[in-house]
């Protein structure tokens, strides 16, 4: 039996994330957020397949307006990916997002970050701090040697989290992603040794399902086998139902999958 590393528990809507809860599968809609009917249909399909959290992209004001309506039409807790905008983050929180995803490489202004934190604290909205290798490279003017990228990702994560802790905000989930399997494993090990917040696992740019399956199984499987990882997403092009199926197979192979309700197989 795999021994999970101990973490805090973070509640995302009705779903608990952390070492005292089963590993949670999440996915992302692949239709425009402003297309409310199609979004609702896809979210419900994902839920029936075993997905317990769904992320939607909200880069525009029209998206957060649609998001507010979608929240009212589904039972699955929704996550807002706000891209580069602090305004979208606050709008999504006020629209009922159970969690938002922030990339330190995208939203860097201290006042903007604190404004988001204060809104999230008021509404009890969780926040995923998601660092990725590409963003860290973009933050630097000079080329970053491969061997230094993990340290830079961890440093940026620490810097960002200090702001949250300065506001006594603890509803955090952490993630650090790369398209490289070995580096994904390395940075998540480092994060698990440094923080006791839940960790979301995934690879960036995993490609088509047939290309995403093996790298995701290797990276996520290795970390989960070490007890690292509290929520996962297999990122693949095309139908997101396929993502959920691959994620489910990874968890089943490790004895970590527990059905919470009847699912479509």
Phi, psi of 175 (to 5 degrees): -150, 150
Is 167 within a domain? yes
The length of the chain, given as a count of residues = 265
Dihedral angle sign, alpha carbons of residues 22, 28, 33, 36:
negative
Is 1 within a domain? no
How many domains does one find in the chain? 1
Quick: pLDDT tens for 139-149.
554 566 667 88
- Is residue 153 pLDDT above 60, yes or no? yes
Is 3 within a domain? no
Question: What's the pLDDT band for 265 if we cut at 50, 70, 90?
Answer: very low
What's the rounded mean pLDDT across residues 17-40? 97
- Give the closest residue to 22 by CA, choosing from 220, 181, 264, 198: 198
- The parent domain of residue 48 ranges over 10-253
Is 78 within a domain? yes
Quick: pLDDT tens for 56-108.
999 999 999 999 999 999 999 999 999 899 999 999 999 999 999 999 888 98
Q: What's the CA gap between 182 and 180, in Å, rounded?
A: 6
For residue 30, give both structure tokens.
């692949």
Q: Is the model's pTM score more than 0.95?
A: no
Is 4 within a domain? no
Give the CATH number for residue 122: 3.20.20.20
Cβ(247)–Cβ(25) under 8 Å? yes
DSSP states along 38-92: HHHHHHHHHHHHT--EEEEE--SHHHHHHHHHHHTT-SS-EEEE-TT-HHHHHHH
CA 166, distance to chain mean position in Å, is 22
Question: What's the pLDDT band for 212 if we cut at 50, 70, 90?
Answer: confident
Is 259 within a domain? no
Quick: pLDDT tens for 36-61.
999 999 999 999 999 999 999 999 99
Q: What's the CA gap between 214 and 253, in Å, rounded?
A: 13
**What are the residue ranges of helices labelled H in the chain?**
36-49, 61-71, 86-95, 110-123, 133-139, 146-166, 181-194, 209-225, 240-253
Is 5 within a domain? no
Q: What's the confidence (pLDDT) of residue 198?
A: 99
């Amino acid at each position: 039996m795999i021994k999970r590393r101990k973490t805090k528990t973070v509640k995302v809507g009705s779903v608990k994330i952390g070492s005292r809860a089963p590993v949670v599968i999440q996915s992302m809609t692949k239709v425009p957020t402003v297309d409310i009917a199609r979004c609702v249909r896809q979210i419900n399909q994902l839920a029936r397949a075993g997905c317990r959290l769904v992320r939607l992209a909200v880069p525009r004001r029209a998206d957060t307006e649609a998001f507010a309506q979608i929240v009212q039409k589904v039972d699955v807790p929704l996550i807002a990916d706000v891209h580069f905008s602090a305004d979208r983050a606050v709008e999504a929180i006020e629209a009922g997002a159970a969690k938002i995803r922030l990339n330190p490489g995208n939203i860097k202004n201290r006042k903007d970050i604190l404004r988001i934190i204060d809104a999230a604290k008021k509404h009890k909205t969780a926040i995923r701090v998601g660092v990725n290798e590409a963003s860290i490279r973009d933050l630097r003017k000079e080329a970053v040697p491969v061997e230094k990228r993990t340290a830079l990702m961890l440093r940026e994560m620490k810097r960002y989290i200090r702001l949250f802790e300065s506001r006594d905000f603890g509803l955090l989930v952490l993630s650090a992603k790369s398209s490289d399997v070995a580096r994904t494993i390395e940075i998540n090990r480092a994060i698990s040794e440094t923080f006791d917040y839940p960790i979301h696992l995934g690879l960036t740019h995993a490609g088509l399902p047939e290309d995403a399956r093996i790298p995701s199984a290797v990276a996520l499987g290795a970390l989960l086998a070490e007890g690292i990882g509290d929520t996962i997403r297999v990122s693949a092009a095309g139908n997101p139902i396929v993502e959920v199926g691959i994620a489910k197979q990874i968890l089943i192979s490790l004895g970590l999958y527990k059905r919470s309700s009847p699912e479509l197989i």
